Amino acid sequence: MKQQILESCQKWGADLVGFAPIARFPECSAVHKLMPEAKTVIGLGFRVLRGAYRGIEEGSTYYQYTTMGVENMEETVMPMVSLRLSMLLEEEGYLALPQRRHQQIMAQENSTNPEVAFDAIYRNRPQETQMDFNEAAVLCGLGEIGFHGALLTEEFGPFVRTCFVLTDAEIEPTPVKTPHLCDGCRECVKGCPGKAIAEDGTLDPWQCAVYYNGANGLKNPFMPPDAFADFENRLAIISGEAKVDPETARKILKNIYFYPPAQHAYPCSICGRACDVRCYIHLEEKGALTKHFRTPFRKREEWKFKIEDFES
């Protein structure tokens, strides 16, 4: 059964597959409520194309990361594999319940998900409506959690997305990885164009949403010179120095339209997940990743516009 799952998922396009017995999950974990009879959680990891990040790295193409690295992965590729795996399990007489991240549901009352338009999010949902995807990925042996909260895998570093299948089949577990990738270098913190990651690694989701959407003009080739004209601190916003609260963030986000959004409420990422990119470059440079490429990710010095270009 395990071998059949591994071979099938690989054939369908999953890059990583891991198995966690339900006993590995703490009592408070949502997986127990989602499927009380579950015995195993199957984790599926999918690489996000390095080429999709490279477009933003070079400033040459932006929407491919959002459409091919986020939207199509979450809405098409990953659900398809988890559905096929679930069908395989049910064909064998077991129950199967696929778990994809619902991008528009948040447990916290006043938080947000940078990958989704803030006004399309349903907040204050009970914790048990959605499992903790990073916790599940670690318990399934797919990787470890880095300093800034992203899943890091040996193969693709942070360039990876996950979904899961809960089943009442008992399957031999995958060992949990001993964390060894994150060395605390803080490149992820330094890489964010909006200072959304604090020195202790905590992410401010509203600050992230503003700068994920391109509020830093020094890293945004689509921003006009008179951007944010109605904001007193427009130069602080544009240089990535502004500290925003949720209310200000909403106001800024309403004034952001640099690129057409993808479907399913996914706005175009202008930062290109610079935190993950910096982490990836660091892990690649120190030879920590097992998937190698013929050329390094970063090929030249990072480009930046000048704040003077926005002074009027």
Residue with tokens 């200072």: 195
8 A C-beta contact, residue 130 and residue 31: no
Residues in region 107-126 near ligand SF4 by CB under 6 A: 114
158, amino acid identity: P
If one asks whether residue 98 binds ligand SF4 (CB under 6 A), the answer comes out as no
Q: What residue number has its CB nearest to ligand SF4?
A: 146
8 A C-beta contact, residue 296 and residue 285: yes
Residue 282: closest CA among 146, 185, 148 = 185
Contact region with ligand SF4 (CB under 6 A), list: 88-96, 163-171, 177-185, 224-232: 177-185
Residue 243 exposure: Cα atoms within 13 Å on the Cβ side:
3
Question: CB of residue 203 vs ligand SF4: minimum separation in angstroms?
Answer: 6
CB closer to ligand SF4 out of 116 and 196: 196
Q: d(Cα 275, Cα 187) in Å, to the nearest integer?
A: 7
Question: CB of residue 122 vs ligand SF4: minimum separation in angstroms?
Answer: 21
Give φ, ψ of 172 to 5 degrees.
-55, 125
If one asks whether residue 270 binds ligand SF4 (CB under 6 A), the answer comes out as no
Structure tokens at 199: 């020195």
If one asks whether residue 138 binds ligand SF4 (CB under 6 A), the answer comes out as no
Pick from 36, 93, 175, 184 the residue near ligand SF4 by CB under 6 A: 184
If one asks whether residue 144 binds ligand SF4 (CB under 6 A), the answer comes out as no
8 A C-beta contact, residue 65 and residue 194: no
Binding site for ligand SF4 (CB under 6 A): 114, 146-148, 182-188, 191-192, 194, 196-197, 203, 208, 211-212, 271, 273-275, 278-279, 282
